Chains A and B, each alone.
Chain A
């Protein structure tokens, strides 16, 4: 997703000024929300058949990780900024598990729909535009994030790891955190020639963010340069939001973080639309 992107990024930024929500399709008309929702609904109907397996994998990993690290390691770490370690990690894991859900959806699942099942081709034969299909995929990824975050919130609440009534907003934060990752995943997919291609993004993008976005230790404990890198990536902002909600410290900064996530989402989606058109509309 990085190669040769400078001019695209430039024109995407210019387009952003004209059309801040990225709703302008490249076909005859603007993006129709109704079409986007129909594609999302198609994804939901297809997911319904496998939802148990899907939920188990989306929740099992982060929860095992959380209880293993949070409670196991927590005993040696003690408190961070006056917060028990398990609570500290739990508040960040919500964001990272949502990142995983959105990323898997718009990389592997979208790639399968595009290449193996040729669902994209089937829908492109209808009045639904390619941009709307992509929008539907991202919206569906965000809905899955909402669902994942809801279930996680419940589990963490039962486990006593949430300490603020603001936690009730965690599911919506999950939806929002899904936006940039859904859109960035689309960018990767629009460039992917094979399944192997995703490995690069998972290692140098997803894993990197997982370890360096303040989930396991406060970003302030890292050297200044690394902190700047961390804040330039979306997950740090996601963690900042979920942590503020879970621990009960949301301030005006939360809006800034939300703004960064939305900006990431809009720019990445526009780039993905360009690249996907270049790839499929030939």
Chain B
């Protein structure tokens, strides 16, 4: 794969404006299974060379949306264009030819070796064998699997299988790579290695669409995040924008014991106050200074930190507990 220069933020914005440079355009997308509506009118664009993330809890409709974009599940309602083609039976093959899909649950071929997994997959995309072998070797190198070239799948660790799934999705040099929860179920080391590889792809300018329920993953990898809950997009923006808009700049987390008097004293100094059993959280916008709060909280145990996506997410989804 050719290494391409990383586009600047400005170039990305400009790209998003041009219709040719929108890889996926979804308008009013819905889907129901029986009487249960799982996707209830989603709109979004995936600009070329961007990494767009669907962030949301389990059951938010992320996977269902992904499956409609990738022509694996029929569109319920609305319209999705991928590479300018409307998804549907007529263009299914043309769209899939240009897509690389990394499924949520690994479905590598257990009877074939690592290399043969890649070669057989390449054949489904009409990639000539000589080219497939060369690309497979490059990808195994890139994903740190070169020494497992002839290994059987069941001898690989979870992280290796995930990396191989990603390599497999790249064997035909797709224009869009779709990853459904790329690091779910991996241990921290394996997760960081996958992130490193995905960042490498991003540097090369690969357009990516991923789903995740890890805030950190979204923050680390995505240019643009759509927060999805109960089948709707409830917020959208770059990680930084989202944090600034919904959580502010910084947070004071005050740990018990604290009383109502302390809260009343601090409330006017913060932009927003949130109290749960385990902490009192004081959010500060750009226009608020932190010093008065340091003074007010003297003698209490507290944590002062930058606001993050988790604050955004919990704020937007109202701290519900879900399965």
Contacts and interface: CB of A to CB of B under 8 A. Distances in A.
Nearest to B172: A126
B123 A41 contact: yes
Contacts of A49: 111
A124 B93 CA distance: 10
B167 to A, nearest CB: 14
Interface centre among A46, A123, A127 (most CB of B within 10 A): A127
Interface string A111-143: 000000111011111111100000000000000
A57 interface: no
Contact of A117 (B33, B91, B107, B120): B107
B124 A38 contact: yes
A281 B74 contact: yes
B72 A124 contact: yes
A194 interface: no
Contacts of A118: 103, 105, 107
Given A49-B111, A122-B103, A127-B125, A42 B120 contact: yes
Interface stretch (A21-29, A210-218, A225-233): A21-29
Contacts of B93: 27-29, 127, 129
Given A28-B90, A282-B73, A122 B125 contact: no
B112 interface: yes
A46 B111 contact: yes
Interface in A124-183: 124-129
Given A27-B93, A28-B91, A128 B107 contact: no
Contacts of A55: none
A119 B116 contact: no
Interface in B97-118: 97, 99, 101, 103, 105, 107-112, 116
Contacts of B121: 122, 126
Interface in B58-105: 70, 72-74, 89-94, 96-97, 99, 101, 103, 105
A263 B89 CA distance: 28
A45 B116 contact: yes
A128 B124 contact: yes
Contacts of B105: 118
Interface residues of B, number: 30
Contacts, number: 72
Considering the complex of A and B, which 7 residue pairs feature the smallest CB-CB distances, nearest first?
Answer: A46-B111, A126-B124, A118-B107, A125-B101, A122-B107, A127-B97, A127-B96
Interface residues of A, number: 26
B74 to A, nearest CB: 6
Contacts of B90: 28
Contacts of A128: 124
Contacts of A122: 103, 107-109, 121
Interface of A: 26-29, 34-35, 38, 41-42, 45-46, 49, 117-119, 121-129, 281-282
Interface string B20-39: 00000000000001000000
Contacts of B123: 38, 41-42
24 contacts: A27-B89, A27-B92, A28-B93, A34-B126, A38-B124, A42-B123, A46-B109, A117-B109, A117-B110, A118-B103, A118-B105, A119-B109, A121-B72, A121-B107, A122-B103, A125-B70, A125-B96, A125-B101, A126-B124, A127-B124, A127-B125, A281-B73, A282-B33, A282-B74
Interface string B115-157: 0100011011110000000000000000000000000000000
B96 A126 contact: yes
A206 to B, nearest CB: 25
A126 B73 contact: no
Nearest to A128: B124
A119 B112 CA distance: 12
Contacts of B108: 122
Nearest to A129: B93
Contacts of A129: 92-93
Contacts of A282: 33, 73-74
A281 B71 CA distance: 10
Contacts of B70: 125
Contact of A125 (B72, B74, B89, B120): B72
A242 B228 CA distance: 62
Contact of A119 (B74, B92, B96, B107): B107
B124 A123 contact: yes
Contacts of A35: 124
A45 B105 CA distance: 23
Contacts of B111: 45-46, 49
Contacts of B96: 125-127
B108 to A, nearest CB: 7
A280 B56 CA distance: 25
A96 B314 CA distance: 64
A129 B126 CA distance: 14
Contacts of A29: 93
Nearest to A126: B124
